[in-house]
Amino acid sequence: MFYRAFSSRDCQPSDLALFRRTIVDLRALLLEQDVIYVGGGNTANMLAVWRTHGVDRILREAWDKGIVLAGISAGAICWFEASVTDSFGLDLTGLRDGLGLLSGSACPHYNSEERRRPVYRQLVGSGFPPGYAIDDHVGLHFVDGELAEVVCDAEGRSAYAVKLEGMAVRERPLTPRSLS
Contact present, 18 and 53 (Cβ < 8 Å): yes
Active site residue 53: no
Residue 145 DSSP one-character state: T
Among the listed residues 73, 83, 87, 105, the single catalytic one is 73
Please give the full DSSP string across 64-97, using - where no structure is assigned: HHT-EEEESTHHHHTTEEEEEE-TTSSS-EEE--
Among the listed residues 83, 87, 105, 109, the single catalytic one is 109
Q: Annotate 33-53 with three-state secondary structure.
A: CCEEEECCCCHHHHHHHHHHH
What is the CA angle 69-72-109, rounded to 5? Answer: 140
Active site residue 109: yes
Question: Would you please indicate which residues are annotated as catalytic (active-site) residues?
Answer: 73, 109
